[in-house]
Amino acid sequence: MSNERKMIYLCLAHMSDEGLEQKYIKEAFDTNWVVPLGPNVNAFEDDLKQFVGKDQQGQEKEVVALSAGTAAVHLALIACGVKAGDEVCVQSFTFCASSHPITYLGATPVFIDSEPDTWNMDPELLEKAILDRIEKTGKKPKAIVPVALYGMPYDCERIMAVAKKYDIPVIEDAAEGFGSKFKGQVLGTFGKFGVLSFNGNKMITTSGGGALVCENAELKNKVMWYATQAREAYPYYQHEEVGYNYRMSNICAGIGHGQMTIANDHIAHHKHVQALYEELLADVEGVTVHKAPSENYDSNYWLCTIELDPTLRIKGQENAYKEVIKTAVGGAAGVIHAVDTAVTDCQPNDNVEALRVYMLNAKIEARPVWKPMHKQPVYKNAPAYVNGISEAIFKVGMCLPAGPYVSDEDVRYIVETIKSAIIR
């Protein structure tokens, strides 16, 4: 491969071939709808409503377009009645946006570890946690937040059964699982609410942004009210509850409206890349591609993930964690919070870090999987029901590029780079 090879990023959404995004943005400027409402917002919400479809009872869902997926989690918790002093069961193996909004409300996250096949919330541990919290606090958790990690569906059947048994609402965090399905039903339509994300690295993008799938029109109106500063219906500004400025802008919605024309193409591409990784890495000893456990789990494979055997030796492994990170991490726009040491008490194995550095030097962006929330210092005092699964995966897991810009040639180059990094 040429030394001039482009950088291969994990996941970047691209614009539609027809340039519809620019058309809708221009219309917004031409008509002066440069505000958090307007024709693009309405059209994008209609697109999403059609995309997610109906629930198991055949009822159509409603969708609210918001400024971020995190905002969607926050508003869903509020709509479920979560308040200071309450507890919420949330998957530990996830990005912080699943749990941080719980703390915004003064509530406490109760972290639930993963099952080995999907890497998502373990239904048995969930029930154990609910019973234990009832015994310890005298009340049940106010909500359950399972997460579609890297697009992989959670066990919707068993989690919903536990939720129904204890009459606890479910907020599905499908931020990474846009278009993923369980037994043919789109994620985000099983629970009371479903969270979607349209960040720049998601399956489709509005640059930033998210949406909340709601059970019915009444809940949609409630969420929209909270998202627009909870203004009462008076001819002047009257507020009887605290609201938020969380509505999506008409400009961003224009991007989303255009992106919806290629949403299914993006999903198909990610699945194609996953299949190619599975094929090309099948005979590479010490490297395992994570995949769906059965046909019931229709993942969008937002990111493709692998596990490295702890005994696998990687070039440069002896230098792993010798230097602290000195540049922005994870697309954080140049922001860095300096640290004194590269080592913590819970981190990926040396061979995972060595492979990340090796691939970065080959202009390939790869990252460790999410660090479990129950191992994050900020949550050291939060209740956690663990089985060791997420910690074990964190030590051996890695994310590989899978976005629309990743070609078959790129995948072959990535696999060849992995092979060349291994010391035999």
The residue whose two tokens read 């071939």 is 17
Residue type, 208: G
Tell me what pLDDT residue 341 has: 81
Tell me what pLDDT residue 235 has: 94
| Domain(s) of CATH 3.90.1150.10: residues in the chain | 264-423
Q: pLDDT band for position 337 (50/70/90)?
A: confident
**Other beta carbons less than 10 A from residue 21's beta carbon:** 22
Tell me what pLDDT residue 227 has: 97
Q: Is the pLDDT of residue 374 over 90?
A: yes
Average pLDDT, integer, range 68-79: 98
**Token representation of residue 182:** 């369980």
Q: Percent of the chain beyond pLDDT 90? A: 84
Tell me what pLDDT residue 328 has: 63
Average pLDDT, integer, range 126-149: 98
Tell me what pLDDT residue 41 has: 95
Cα gap 243→250, rounded to integer Å: 20
CB of 153 closer than 8 Å to CB of 184 = no
Residue 51 phi/psi, 5-degree rounding, is -70, -45
| Domain(s) of CATH 3.40.640.10: residues in the chain | 20-262
Domain 20-262 has CATH 3.40.640.10: yes
Q: pLDDT band for position 1 (50/70/90)?
A: very low
- Per-residue model confidence as pLDDT tens digits over 223-259: 999 999 999 999 999 999 999 999 999 999 999 999 9
pTM assigned to the model? 0.94
CB of 227 closer than 8 Å to CB of 66 = yes
DSSP 279-347: HHTTT-TTEEE---SSTTEE---SSEEEEE-TT-EETTGGGTTSS---S--SS-TT-----S-S--SS-
Q: Could you tell me the CA-to-CA distances from 256 to 14, 209, 228, 248 in Å, in that order?
A: 11, 9, 20, 10
- Per-residue model confidence as pLDDT tens digits over 34-51: 878 889 999 999 999 999
Tell me what pLDDT residue 331 has: 61
Q: Is the pLDDT of residue 164 over 70?
A: yes
Radius of gyration for the chain, computed over Cα atoms and rounded to the nearest angstrom: 22
Mean pLDDT for all residues in the chain: 94
Beta pairing, strands 193-197 & 185-186: unpaired
CATH of domain 264-423: 3.90.1150.10
Q: pLDDT band for position 333 (50/70/90)?
A: low
- Per-residue model confidence as pLDDT tens digits over 172-214: 999 999 999 999 999 999 999 999 999 989 999 998 999 999 9
